[in-house]
Structure 1
Amino acid sequence: MVSPPITGPIAPFSAVPVGGGVIVAKLGVVVTQPVEGEVVAFRTLCPHRGCQVKAVAAGTINCFCHGSRFRISDGAVVGGPATQPLTPVRVTVVDGVVVDASG
């Protein structure tokens, strides 16, 4: 499944907690801040069965459908049945706003 391109702002950087993240469901993106000042993003589609990840807690991005968990720093699988990481989204911060940096 090909995800649609992201256009416009994704989220205010100030809304992304250090060591956590926010899910922007309408764009299908989860934005994380693994360490202060670093922004990382992934598509919310879980590679296991195509459910949407629904929460970020305790350093992981979590899919409640079957229990897969992914590391906030790189989207790697840390638990559950998924065997593939989350799909990364290139982002940057411009004037305090997280935006797509893929093109």
Structure 2
Amino acid sequence: MNTPPPADRSPIEVNDDSQTVRPSRRVVLTAAAGIAAAGAVTSCSSSPEAVRYRTQPPFPEELPHLDDLPKNGGLVVAGAIVLTRDQSDQVRAFSAVCTHQGCIVKQVTENEIICPCHDSRFDAITGHPTRGPATTSLKPIRIVITDGVITKGAPGFNGT
């Protein structure tokens, strides 16, 4: 049977000999649990510069010229799309929204698109995840390249 603590029992204990004040065990354990929970929430949150979207951000009005897109690399444009370019000048475009929790990917390095929130990585050619926690590919975006000018693709055209 559970009996409540005596009414005269305070969460703060005072030692009559030295007049020091000590929190009770319950207060210490409750505070520790709160600190641990706050730490868990903080560790699951993104870095300060990370941005999250539930839907695709608006398509940028201007895209870089093909000459500005590094071979075997890529660029994140206006936090909306990722343009990648392989050694043979094949250019692909993907949504910059990570499929794990909606953060915006930040960079393309060594043929991988990298999300800063939880370090998900995607293949720069296919958009498929290469390292989790993301398990779904980045959404391909239609593009057209004419004389080095990259533009949004027409409906029905698959630029990937």
Q: Where do 5+ consecutive residues of structure 2 fail to align?
A: 1-53, 156-160
Which of 24, 38, 42 is the matching residue for 2:77? 24
Q: Secondary structure at the match of 1:84?
A: coil
1:57 matched to 2:109? The reply is: yes
In structure 2, relative to structure 1, the CA distance for the partners of 1:56 and 1:78 (3 Å cut) is same
Mapped partners of 1:102, 1:60: distance in 2: 27
Structure with the bigger RCO (C-alpha within 8 Å, sep 6+) is: 1
Q: Are 2:56 and 2:97, in contact at CA under 8 Å, matched by a contact in 1?
A: no
Give the 5 Å matches for 1:45-84. 45-84=97-136
| Deviation digits for residues 9-67 of structure 1 (CA, Å, limit 9, x no counterpart) | 422111111111011025x0110002322110001000100100001101100001001
Q: Are 1:30 and 1:44, in contact at CA under 8 Å, matched by a contact in 2?
A: yes
In structure 2, relative to structure 1, the CA distance for the partners of 1:7 and 1:54 (3 Å cut) is closer
1:43 matched to 2:62? The reply is: no
1:13 matched to 2:49? The reply is: no
TM-score after normalising by structure 1: 0.88
1:101 matched to 2:147? The reply is: no
TM-score after normalising by structure 2: 0.59
Percent of aligned positions that are identical: 36
